[in-house]
Structure 1
Amino acid sequence: MTKRHVSLPAEAEEGVTAFIEQVDERLSGAEDTCEVVRDTLVDLFGDRDAYERWRAGGDVTPAERVRLQGYDPCNATLESEYYAEKDEETFTRSKHLQWLWRQFDATPMADNIAFALRFRQMLANHLFAEAGDGLRLFKGITFTYGHNIEMGDNVVVHDDVHLDDRGKLTVGDRVSISDAAHVFSHDHDVVDQTAVENYHTVIDDDARVTYDTMVRAGMRVGKNSVVGAKSVVQGDVPDHHIAVGSPAKSVKVKPGWEDVADPVEDRLTNRAAERKLERSVPDDVDVFDEFQRDVAPPGAREADD
């Protein structure tokens, strides 16, 4: 599909460029990341006067105080903060950048595409393990950590996509991930859901993962392949294949690629075990089971008695 180049008016472009360069420079320097994120959000939300009044000891309501404190990521928690095996030092900075990413998406500016895509590209350069050039990262994308994501050049990720990198996620060049897709890199035991395994999930060059698709942990979506809408990928999608359904199956090879593609098979091969990552919890972590369930099957209980 042919697209048009879109640009902002010169005055708006000047302001956008100056703002993004300023935040990028501060994030690249020695400043505390919490302070950079806090200042950026205070100004983006137009709350500078109220923030300065509060910091000077002025009266604020409890709701105002919570709002003003909330611009600082050090005063916030994310779900992934509870994961026992995470690298604490790496996560701390990633959390701050994630907070900036998520709160930016709650501002009206997140809908200004010419501005927002460039701002998220800049944040990805700081947050991801690898961030290629020409990324088009749209609104509502969420991550587990962010720092376990490797993303190639000219990738497009559309609205409301979840990229789970509790394990590791590699996205190749020119990949397209459509709205509401979920790509996972960790899984839970079917009996004891507190038992988690992490995997390396791969979406290879030129692949398309279309609307509302789920890619399970440890899968590989092959080069130049397509996963149809609302599919559940529970095995590797071969290069150049089109896979659809729940569970997804290869239904055909992309026209023109028959000579270089593997034959179509009835079901996809699950190779997650080959991409399983070592997962360990530090000895000094105070772990807890939030469910407190008895996961022993009835026969095991009777044997214990």
Structure 2
Amino acid sequence: MTKRHVTLPDEMEDSLEEFVAEVDQRLSNAGPDGSERTCEVVEEVLVDLHGDRDAYDRWQNGETVSPAETVRLQSYDPCNATLESEYYAEKDEEKFKRSKHLQWLWRQFDATPMADNVEFALRFRAMLADHLFAECGDNCRFFKGITFTYGHNITMGDNVVVHDDVHLDDRGELTVGDRVSISDSAHVYTHDHDVVDQTEVKNYRTVIADDARVTYDSMIRAGVRVGENAIVGAKSVVQRDVPDHHIAVGQPAKSVKIKPGWEDAAEPVDSDAETDKEGRRIEYEIPDELEVFDEFQRDLTPPGEE
């Protein structure tokens, strides 16, 4: 679909460029050897975006604030927040120290009115993606409500579009090629749970190749490759590879046809084609000294067995 260019008024454009450039520079300087810490940058940016500077300064100066204000003001600091992925035993602690802070900034930015100013928000999220992802290409567009497991295990190509309320699981590794489109409410996974013991997690590399389209409310299972120039139909559940140039639909998704004009470049439709999921398995080790727990405490012994 052809799009038209949209511009902001000059005054807003200048303010936007100045703000995004300032946050970008501060995040670039943050780190072990930098002049600032990532959590401090995130905290101050969120205080200002939420219009809470006066209350924050009163609190910092030791003046009286209510318990509710205290909790709100403390919550701008990502060190005072917990994310679901924080509980995962196999996560890379060093990478997570920074990606947690950046992910908190991304999520809390989406809770501000500015997140609905599309031209503003797209540029702000693209700037954050450059710091959060393992790699992010040029001219990517990230809409509202996108969530990640960590963020640091995601690699994005150029000209990628990710629409509203998409979940990109990168408990394993997620690679998204150039010019990929992921539509609203899609879920892309890189980990699976054992069917008997759901505390046993296997991580995989999941790939969405160049020019692929993952359409509305579809799900891509861990370890799957969606092929180059392929389409995943709305509400489909992809459990095996989708070949290049194929259209896959259904639950579970199966290839139903080749995109018109691409017949000579594509393999024939084969609904029984094998997927090299185990070849994309990512092994990990949990440190012996780490204290872990089973949140379910279920009896996994089948009936009749001791």
TM-score range, shorter chain: over 0.9
> Are residue 213 (structure 1) and residue 218 (structure 2) matched?
yes
> Are residue 42 (structure 1) and residue 19 (structure 2) matched?
no
Q: Distance in 2 between matches of 1:230 and 1:279?
A: 32
Partner of residue 153, structure 1:
158
Deviations 1:152-171 (A, max 9, x none): 00000000000000000000
Counterpart secondary structure, 1:249:
strand
**TM, length-normalised to structure 2:** 0.97
Equivalent pairs counted in the alignment come to: 301
Shift of residue 62, structure 1, vs aligned partner: 1.2
Q: Which of 127, 136, 139 is the equivalent residue of 2:141?
A: 136
Partner of residue 105, structure 2:
100
Contact 1:234 1:268 in 2 (8 A): no
Partner of residue 113, structure 1:
118
Partner of residue 17, structure 1:
17
Contact 1:219 1:234 in 2 (8 A): yes
Partner of residue 4, structure 1:
4
**Structure 2 gaps, min length 5:** none
Q: Distance in 2 between matches of 1:39 and 1:238?
A: 47
Computed over aligned residues only, the root mean square deviation of the Cα atoms, in angstroms, reads: 0.7
Shift of residue 79, structure 1, vs aligned partner: 0.3
Shift of residue 300, structure 1, vs aligned partner: 2.2
Deviations 1:13-66 (A, max 9, x none): 000000000000000001101100000000000000000001111111111111
How high is the sequence identity, in percent, across the aligned residues?
Answer: 74
Q: Distance in 1 between matches of 2:49 and 2:289?
A: 39
Deviations 1:76-122 (A, max 9, x none): 00000000111111101000000000000000000111110000010
Deviations 1:170-228 (A, max 9, x none): 00000000000000000000000000000000000000000000000000000000000
Matches within 5 A, 1:179-258: 179-258=184-263
Counterpart secondary structure, 1:199:
strand
Contact 1:187 1:198 in 2 (8 A): yes
Shift of residue 299, structure 1, vs aligned partner: 2.9
Partner of residue 292, structure 1:
297
Letter in 2 for 1:66: V
**Structure 1 gaps, min length 5:** none
Contact 1:149 1:170 in 2 (8 A): yes
Deviations 1:109-159 (A, max 9, x none): 001111100000100000000000000000000000000000000000000
Letter in 1 for 2:14: E
Counterpart secondary structure, 1:239:
coil
Contact 1:27 1:36 in 2 (8 A): yes
Q: Distance in 2 between matches of 1:268 and 1:160?
A: 31
Counterpart secondary structure, 1:51:
helix
Partner of residue 63, structure 1:
68
Q: Distance in 2 between matches of 1:185 and 1:268?
A: 20
Q: Distance in 1 between matches of 2:6 and 2:42?
A: 29
Q: Distance in 2 between matches of 1:196 and 1:300?
A: 24
Counterpart secondary structure, 2:296:
coil
TM superposition outliers: structure 1 runs of 4+ over 6 Å: none
Contact 1:235 1:269 in 2 (8 A): yes
Contact 1:248 1:268 in 2 (8 A): no
Q: Distance in 1 between matches of 2:75 and 2:289?
A: 29
Q: Distance in 2 between matches of 1:111 and 1:41?
A: 16
Shift of residue 268, structure 1, vs aligned partner: 4.8
